[in-house]
Amino acid sequence: MLRYAAVGAAVAILGFSAAVWVLIERNGALRAAQEVSQAALSACTGRVEDILKDKDSDDDIDAISDSDLRDHVRPEWMLPDPAR
- DSSP label of 77: G
Decide: 73 and 61 in contact? Cβ < 8 Å.
yes
Q: What are phi and psi of 32, to 5 degrees?
A: -65, -45
pLDDT tens for each residue of 13-55: 999 999 999 999 999 999 999 999 999 999 898 899 999 999 9
**Whether pLDDT at 84 is above 70:** no
Cα–Cα distance, 23 to 29 (Å, whole number): 10
Specify the pLDDT at position 78: 75
Give residue limits of the domains in the chain.
Answer: 23-58
The pTM score is 0.48
**Whether pLDDT at 79 is above 70:** yes
Cα–Cα distance, 71 to 1 (Å, whole number): 99
Decide: 72 and 64 in contact? Cβ < 8 Å.
yes
